[in-house]
Every structure is written in structure tokens, then in C-alpha cells.
Amino acid sequence: MSEQRVVVIGAGVGGLAAAIDLARAGRAVTVVERGDAPGGKMRRVPVAGLGVDAGPTVFTMRWVFDGLLGDAGTRLEDHLELHTPERLARHGWEDGSRLDLWADRERSAAAIEAFADARNAQGYLDFCDRSADVYATLRDSFIDAQRPNPVSLVGRVGLHRLPAMFRIQPFKSLWSVLGEHFTDPRLRQLFGRYATYVGSSPLSAPATLMLVAHVEQDGVWLLRGGMHALARALAAVGDTLGVSFRYGAEAERIETSGGAVTGVTLAGGERLPADRVVFNGDASALGRGLLGEAAQRATRPVAAPRRSLSAVTWCVVGRPEGFPLDFHNVFFGRDYPAEFRAVFRERKITETPTVYLCAQDRGPWAAEGEAGERMLLLVNAPADGDRGGIGDRQLAALEQRVSGLLGRCGLALELGGEACRVTRPQDFEALFPASGGALYGRASHGPLASFARPPARSRVRGLYLAGGSAHPGAGVPMAALSGRLAARALLGD
């Protein structure tokens, strides 16, 4: 029997993970990527002669990558230099108040007591215990499992853990559960941000997303070279296993015969024969027919109102003044619920949006150039990149509002100019077709939203799905798990 040929479309973290697992299992793997480097959303943008990480900036759930590389006969630390920071993030508000969260939860509780009061500090500790319970319940039964349905999930958890299933409260929103733990509205804002880690609103996302608190407590790392270095490391491991990488190669059509995949045709006409295909792009691209009619029935596209958050981002090289930035920083406006009502109902950016700022030279490996230090700024936006997106006048007004908010929080920073690269929802749509600019696939709104993401096995025989739009969801480690689940399904079939 000839060697099974697999084509992986897309060199995002899901595609890279799938390629590694499949290559070590003896499959002939070719990864086609229309960009000039691996990483997908873990991209790096050149600004003023420096490379700025323009995508995910947080590395968590290290066990995912320890498992992936360990199974491949190597170790994460053989390829990357990692640092464990004491401080998780610094937060600022318009009234001048500031709060640091720490890797040590007792230290964070002490900081919260000084920031608010003892009652909110105890609420934080209780919240941490609750989030650990949720994580322990869902890690193996849902996160690292082929997509279950609600009934099979209960079976996987086991009857002895049914009380834990009730405690995770999937029918309550994260926002309402936060109200049970925090009386200070600023703390409710801060921990409500966990919903945005999967592109969702804390007003509508299930309380199960409190597990993010435990994920952070379990470990957050900084990587030398940024998150893009992770993508290059995974590609290097794949290369040692015999994976063939084709950069600048855009998949135009997935070919089928008799209801099963037979190959991939690239832009320009070249055809790559394949017995199996792993698609590591936004799953909606298949459902909208962007990879041909034969692959269109693989999965349904996500309707625009159900899309997750998009963003406006600024990759800046400059000299911030005033506010003492850490690596991860968050600046809050006054009305957090209004931000998500604006994005998801009114399809616009609120007047004073929350601003995330990653000061990439505030870690242990500073690389500040003559023009200043590297920063990524992000505000939430509706995923309407295929329906107009953010116009130039809107962008100019938004930059004024963002600068105003930062100024009221104590930070002076100039946006725009030659040392700034802006990415809007329409740009994310161009980078990730059929997404509308949504960065996290489907929004996790409602108790059953997590079951609505497509599984690894598509409706087309021999075609598998990987990436943040598929199960188990968005985020770097989750996307890596999706790639591993795709490889596991393919090998099992």
C-alpha cells in the first residue's frame, strides 16, 4: 500500500500541530500556506525596522505543547526560551486607579484588598476556586476530546462528577456570576474580559469561561522572539519530521471524487494529489464555497450576527510616557456593558472602548530601537469586514477616542504616522477570508454555543477541520488541540 498523502491547508497553529502528529505517524504531509511564513494569526508585522507581534500575545496551557512536542520526540525548551513573569497584567481606569494581577493568587488577593476591600479579595479567592473546578471538569471531557454533545459530555464527566457539572452553571452568563463574587464594578470589568479571550461578550457568554482564570493561574509564559517564534519552532519540528512546507502557495479548490477528497488545486493551476485534507482556515470559507462547490457541504458558514469579535489593532514603535507600562496592560472606560451592546447589537465601536496594550519590550528581552519600543494596541470591533468595515474617517475619530482614554488613564502615546501599522476588520477579512474579520470563529454566546463549533470530521469524507473556528475553540492552545484532534480523527479513520 502506498504512503498516505495529506495536504494541510494553512500553517496556523492548528495546521502545524496536525502536520506534526501526522508526519510522525508516517503520513506524507504537505502544508500549503499563502503567506510567506508560518503562524496564521500569530503574525509579525514590520514597523520602523522592527518586527511587532500583531496577533496573540499570551502563552498559556503549556501542557498542550509539551504533549505535542514530547510525542514528536523533542521538548519545547529545546526550541524556545521561556520566561515566567511574576506579574500577569497591569490594569488602569480613567479615574486614575490601577491594579496589578500576579501569578501568585495570594498576592493578587492582597492587591485586590488594597484596591477595593477584603470582601472583594475573598470574592477573588472564591472565584479562583470555582474556576479551577470548572477547568478540572471540562479539560478532558470537553476541551481535549472530539466534539461532544450535551448528553455525551455528561457521560464523559461521569455520574460521580455530576455535582461538578451543576456547579459550572452553563446556563448563567459570566457577567451574572461575576456579580456574585465582586461588588466593585471595576473588578467585574477586569474579569469580564475573559469572555473576550474567545471573542465574546461577558453579558452573553456562559459562566464556564471563568475557567480562563484558572488557566492563567496555572501558568503564563513569555517567549523570546514573541509568539511568532512559537510558529517558527513548530514549523521547524515539522520540517525535521519530513513535512513539506509550501509558502506563497494559495489553495484555490479542494477536489473530490465519489464524495471523498482527491486533491487540492493551487492558484495558478498546480494540482496536489491527496488522500486526506486538513483545512486550517476559517471554517466559513468552506461553507461559503471559497474552496469550491465540492467542499461547500463540509460545514455551514457562521451567520454575521453569530460571529465573534473582530478588532482594530495598531502596531506601533514609539515612546510612551506617563503610565508605567508592563508587558500586558489593559485600559478600561466607564461603561463595560455598553461596549458589547455597541459591537454585537449596534455593529459599531463604543465611545470609550477598552484598550489592550502589549508593550513587547517590557519583558526580559528588550529590543528597543532608535525609534522607540514595540507595542500592539487592540480595541474590540464588530466582524463586519465583508460589509464595509471601518472607514478612514471612522478610524481617525477612533484614534482620537483611544488616545483620549489612554491620556485619562495617564498614558501619552501617539498613534498614526509612519511608525504605525493599522489593521481593521476588512483587513482581517482579507487575511482570513469568509470570516468577516472575526478573529475567534463563532461567538460563544448562550449555554450551547460551545457545541455549535464544527468538529474535526467534516461532512466531506477525507476532509478534516482545524483552527480556532473549529472545536474546541479559539486561542493558541485550543487551536493546537484542534489540530491534534483533526490528526487523531484522520488516523482513526
Predicted local distance difference test score (pLDDT) of residue 68: 98
The DSSP string of 169-183 is -TTSBHHHHHHHH--
DSSP 297: G
Distance from C-alpha of 428 to C-alpha of 431, rounded to nearest angstrom: 5
Amino acid at 73: G
Provide the pairing of β-strand 5-9 with 244-247: unpaired
Distance from C-alpha of 104 to C-alpha of 218, rounded to nearest angstrom: 10
Output the tens digit of pLDDT for each of the chain's 493 residues. 468 999 999 999 999 999 999 999 999 999 999 999 999 999 999 999 999 999 999 999 999 999 999 999 999 999 999 999 999 999 999 999 999 999 999 999 999 999 999 999 999 999 999 988 887 877 654 455 555 544 443 444 444 454 554 455 567 899 999 999 999 999 999 999 999 999 999 999 998 888 888 888 889 999 999 999 999 999 999 999 999 999 999 999 999 999 999 999 999 999 999 999 999 999 999 999 999 999 999 999 999 999 999 999 999 999 999 999 999 999 999 899 999 999 999 999 999 999 999 999 998 887 656 779 999 999 999 999 999 999 999 999 999 999 999 999 999 998 988 899 999 999 999 999 999 999 999 999 987 776 788 999 999 999 999 999 998 988 999 999 999 999 999 999 9
Predicted local distance difference test score (pLDDT) of residue 144: 52
Angle at 137 between CA 131 and CA 143, to 5 degrees: 95
Q: pTM of the entire structure?
A: 0.93
Predicted local distance difference test score (pLDDT) of residue 139: 66
For cell 494553512, the residue is: 10
Predicted local distance difference test score (pLDDT) of residue 148: 53
Write the secondary structure of 399-450 as one string of H (helix), E (strand) and C (coil): HHHHHHHHHHCCEECCCCCCCEEEECHHHHHHHCCCCCCCCCCECCCCCCHH
* Contact in structure between 196 and 58 (CB atoms under 8 Å): no
Predicted local distance difference test score (pLDDT) of residue 69: 98
Distances (CA, A) of 56 to 16, 227, 377: 16, 7, 12
pLDDT digit string, tens, across residues 295-350? 999 999 999 999 999 999 999 999 999 999 999 999 999 899 999 999 999 999 99
Phi-psi region of 243 (alpha: psi -120 to 50; beta: other; left: phi over 0): beta
| Alpha helix stretches (DSSP H) within 139-244 | 150-157, 162-167, 174-181, 185-192, 211-217, 227-240
Distance from C-alpha of 109 to C-alpha of 86, rounded to nearest angstrom: 14
Phi-psi region of 202 (alpha: psi -120 to 50; beta: other; left: phi over 0): alpha
With a CB cutoff of 8 Å and minimum separation 6, the contacts of 388 are: 426
* Contact in structure between 254 and 279 (CB atoms under 8 Å): yes
